Structure 1
Amino acid sequence: MVLLGPSTPNGFFSSEALSAGPVKDVVPNRVMTWNLCNPCDEGNADRASEIARFAPQVVGLQEACERDVAQIRDHLENTHGLVYHVEYGAVLQNWGRCGGAPWNPGGYGQAILSAAPMTDRVNEEYPDGGSEDRGYMAVTTLVGDRPVRVFNTHLAERRQEEFRIEQTGVLAAEIARHDRAIVLGDFNAVPNTPELARIWKLAEDTDPLCRPTDSGACTPTTDWRSKFDYIFLRGIAPLRHRVWDTPYSDHDVLHSDVDVTYL
């Protein structure tokens, strides 16, 4: 059993991750976001080991192929004892990204893994993804023991601000419908960019020091040392978080423990 609690006297995580071996149970109230990197040559067993280090209750993955996510789920269960439900948010059927037969290419987009069943799944493609189709997905699932609306998104590429502005408008309208929500994803934008302003009006980053007015305090989440990955919280309080530098993607793992009894 993995126990939930601070690893150091000040409540922040220590430098030691959980074992990548058998874990057997998830950590309640822990959520995680991770862009898997695609196309990349990383193995799904290694990706599963990174997720198992932290054993989150809910995981949002971006740049995810449906076949890869299915294999990651199987590795998590068979190797690490972690059982997850999966919902997919494919926005492309892409042979170049995800392989498969030319007439039956793999689904590519987002995915959410949750220890609890998920309901009310929504999968939406943004009206204009920029150079590649992009979208968001949302589910209702348990975080701790409370039902929470969880969003997972991947916005347009780095130099495509004009598309991200429209995309965050679509996403913000959906987030605003919920008093309690967690928004995971790769936003391809640093905190003080105009396209994130609508999200900041509705939610706060899990890092209490990271704000658009002081973006220099935000921990980078990519190999090029920019903060692009977020866990936005609406009606939910952050407890502690961590950015984990992983060799298996050009994006770091970001996870957070949260208090869903905040409201």
Structure 2
Amino acid sequence: MKRTATVLATTLFAVGLAGPAASAGPPSGGPPPVEITVASYNIHAGIGADGEFDIDRTANAIAETGADVVALQEVDRHWGDRSEYRSVIGELAHELGMHARFAPIYSFDPPQAGDPRREYGTAVLSRFPIADFTNHELTRLSTQGPEAGPQPMPGFAEVVVRARGTLVHVYSTHLDYRGDPSTRETQVAETLDILAADSGAPRVLLGDFNAEPAAPELDPLWTELTDAYGEAGTGEGPTYPAEVPAKRIDYAAVSEEVDVLDAYVPDTDLAATASDHRAVVADVEVPR
């Protein structure tokens, strides 16, 4: 009903029939920008700080953020015992009533013929319709099987969401965790190349970067993107480990088309226990 009323008022204004009440609009005469809440959350496959798998707890922690679009990392789909071979992303989408796209890093044959494939990767949940989806490749070091050296592997999710009259590109990423930053350096360069292909569009990069803001390997990101928490957050905003966080390694970063209104890390009992990371949440504004 609200959308119908808005469209009707706009139409009446256009033909000069709306009257004085409709004349109060943006100074430029154009539509107002769109406010969106985004979040990044490494869900640790639905396993909390107590070591227990509890998908309902994970769903509640996501709901607690109030985010319209949530990028997830460490997401299982029929992966193994730790998540009871369940589709974690499918159940979260159903429980939260959100659209979902899943970008597997690994996709293996099942233990028994006819069972679903064993998959692990990143994902995006959205209250808005999803217009497009791509599972991009980044250079990775595999954690499955013998070490094969850096190689292109999937698992960098990109969705285009239809958010109240505008299209927004949202990405979910999980950068390498190792102490040697060389793989992250390569991944950052590849990430910027992927985002450059969408130049001019509102872009929001969300993810577990496995590095703190001042890490040299992240410097190229901050020449092209704005760190939302660094722009609008209060204090250090650590996200890991969840119970007593000491490092900020989870991010929301935005392109120049996007304004940051607020950013925070949830500080509740649920945020401290539902995963080994806390989420980072940002309120942003994009042109319609």
Structure 1's consecutive aligned runs of 4 or more residues displaced over 6 angstroms after TM superposition are none
Q: Secondary structure at the match of 1:156?
A: coil
Return the match for 1:54 from 48, 65, 68.
Answer: 65
Question: Partner residue of 1:225?
Answer: 246
Using structure 1 for the length normalisation, give the TM-score. 0.76
Contact 1:110–1:137 (8 Å) recurs in 2? yes
Contact 1:65–1:109 (8 Å) recurs in 2? yes
Question: Partner residue of 1:190?
Answer: 212
Contact 1:183–1:233 (8 Å) recurs in 2? yes
Note the aligned Cα RMSD (angstroms). 2.6
Q: Bigger radius of gyration, 1 or 2?
A: 2
Amino acid at match of 1:228: I
Q: How do residues 79-94 of structure 1 correspond to structure 2 at under 5 angstroms?
A: 83-93=97-107
Amino acid at match of 1:252: R
Return the match for 1:126 from 117, 130, 138.
Answer: 138
Q: Percent identity?
A: 26
Using structure 2 for the length normalisation, give the TM-score. 0.70
Q: Which has the higher contact order (CA 8 A, sep 6+)?
A: 2
| Alignment of 1:44 onto 2:70 | no
Amino acid at match of 2:101: E
Question: Partner residue of 2:225?
Answer: 203
Displacement of 1:253: 1.4
Contact 2:226–2:254 (8 Å) recurs in 1? yes
Amino acid at match of 2:264: R
- Give the distance between the partners of 2:217 and 2:164, measured in 1 at CA: 31
Residues 61-102 of structure 1, C-alpha deviations (whole Å, 9 max, x = no match): 0001131011112222xxxxxx2111111111269xxxx646
Displacement of 1:176: 2.0
- Give the distance between the partners of 2:135 and 2:57, measured in 1 at CA: 27
Give the helix-richer structure, 1 or 2.
2
| Alignment of 1:249 onto 2:267 | no
Structure 1 segments unaligned to the other structure (5+ residues): 1-26, 77-82
Instruction: Count residues with an aligned counterpart.
Output: 222
Displacement of 1:135: 3.4
